[in-house]
Amino acid sequence: MINQGHRLIKALMELSIEDCMNIDVKWNELEFNKKSKNIVARQLQILLWRFRAVIMRVRVRFSDVNGPKGGLDKQCMVSAKLRPTGKITINGAGIDYLEVFQSSFERLILSVQRELAKQRQKPIRINRRRKSNE
């Protein structure tokens, strides 16, 4: 049983989420170290895996509003296109790129969960037309 669990975890780690949904991350030539890039990519893969049937595309954009001056100028925009229809866009700002990404990403996951709950609550309507008697 333990070997099967390890094999399952290993298989999940090797699976690429890009096979299920399109992920687009733009850094805009900002100063990111390799560790931060790996953290962002890994969080996208792991945390969005369970929503692979619902999310078609995820876009993450990082920007620095006023350059090296400092302050709350690091921005992160995360947008997701949902199946069958719908789009969620989350904007965040802060001091550190990684912190802004994590807070924006948490808000995106909550929004996707809320949209899924709404879709489950909607009744399935079947278009039933009465046949006219001729």
Q: What is the mean pLDDT of residues 56-68?
A: 84
Is position 9 within any domain?
A: no
The residue range of the domain holding 30 is 17-120
Q: Which element (helix H / strand E) includes 18?
A: none
What is the structure's pLDDT at 1? 44
pTM of the model: 0.70
Distance (Å, whole) CA 67 – CA 49? 34
Q: Percent of the chain having pLDDT more than 70? A: 69
User: Comparing C-alpha atoms, which of 56, 77, 60 is closest to residue 26?
Assistant: 60
Is position 78 within any domain?
A: yes
7-24: pLDDT as tens digits = 545 554 555 544 567 777
Q: Strands 55-64 and 74-82: what pairing?
A: antiparallel
Is position 10 within any domain?
A: no
Is position 7 within any domain?
A: no
Domains of the chain: total: 1
Is position 95 within any domain?
A: yes
Distance (Å, whole) CA 119 – CA 79? 19
Is position 29 within any domain?
A: yes
Q: What band does 134 get if pLDDT is binned at 50, 70 and 90?
A: low
Lowest mean pLDDT among 80-94, 95-109, 115-129: 115-129
34 close to 67: Cβ distance less than 8 angstroms: no
Give me the CATH number covering residue 67: 3.30.160.100
Is position 108 within any domain?
A: yes
Is position 101 within any domain?
A: yes
Higher-pLDDT residue of 72, 112 = 112
Average pLDDT over the chain, rounded to whole?
Answer: 77
